[in-house]
Structure formats: structure tokens, C-alpha cells
Amino acid sequence: MGTKPLLLIDIDGPLNPYLALSRPRNPQGYRRLRMRPTGWKTGQGLPVLLNPAHGGELLALAGRYELVWATTWRDEANEWVGPPLGLPPLPFVDWPVVGGTTDDGVFWKTPHVVAYAAGRPFAWIDDEVGEPDRAWVAARHPGPALLRRIDPAVGLERRDFDALAAWAA
């Protein structure tokens, strides 16, 4: 592994503001695509909103971070989401289990993200992180970490990219 911090990227919420799918118009800059990841067998395909400009924003951050998919799309992110954004294939967190709950309110991905980071500094963008996750990471991860919650009705915004760049600096 390299020396740059990791940027762990969730898709549904940050890149695909899925709560905006019910609106009559796509949010500005977004394209509605139909995808067929493994398990999606019905209808016209899974509707996904992507903003092609986000690919350039993420590539700009690649000078400061090692980009990693942290999504339930796993390696299929490289097939379905990366190409429309102009991203090269990225490594991904291969979740040993997907979903579940904890008694203390910690998001199911959080322990796996910390294990994947293996002590390296990391920033993580996801629509489901919260204060219990921040406390859990602070107590168990020896390096710096930024957990940035992204509104799943809005997706990534300029201020998110700016905050990620500033944190890595």
C-alpha cells in the first residue's frame, strides 16, 4: 500500500443521489442511466443518477489520495460506475458481509472500513455515517480519519470536494 491517505467512496448517496430519482427532472449536471449489476434482473435496469463532472473532481483528488470503492457495488463499480465518470479501475473493499445492524448504532460498514484502512489515514464519503461511527473510528483507528456524510438527496457538492482536498493537505 502507498503512503497517501485512502479516499473511500460510496456510490449510492454520494455519487448517485438516489433520493432525487423521484423528482421530475434530474439535478443539474446529472444524467440518468440504467444499469444491470449482478442481481438486478427485472425491468429496464436500475436507475442511477451520475454527474460526469464528479469523475474529474475525484481524479483531481487522486493526487492527494488513493481512491478506493467502499460500496456494495464492490468490483462492479469498475464496470458500471467508473466508466461513465471517466475513472480508471479502482481497488474496492470486498465486504465479508453486507448489511446488518449493531446495538450501538454503528453502521455495518464501519468496522470493515477500519480493517481495510489498516492504520492508514482515510477519508470516507457515505450517506449513512454518523456520530456513532465517528466515535467508533476514533476509539479503534490509530490514524487520522474523516467521515463525511453526504445527503443522498443531493450527492457530492463543491464543498465536499473542497473539504476532502483541505483535509488531505
- The answer to pTM > 0.85 is yes
pLDDT in tens, 92-149: 999 988 887 677 889 999 999 999 999 999 999 999 999 999 999 999 999 999 999 9
> CA 36 to CA 53: how far, in whole Å?
22
> CA 42 to CA 24: how far, in whole Å?
22
What integer is the mean pLDDT of 14-32? 94
Domains, in order of start, for the chain: 6-17+51-168 (3.40.50.1000)
CB of 61 closer than 8 Å to CB of 7? yes
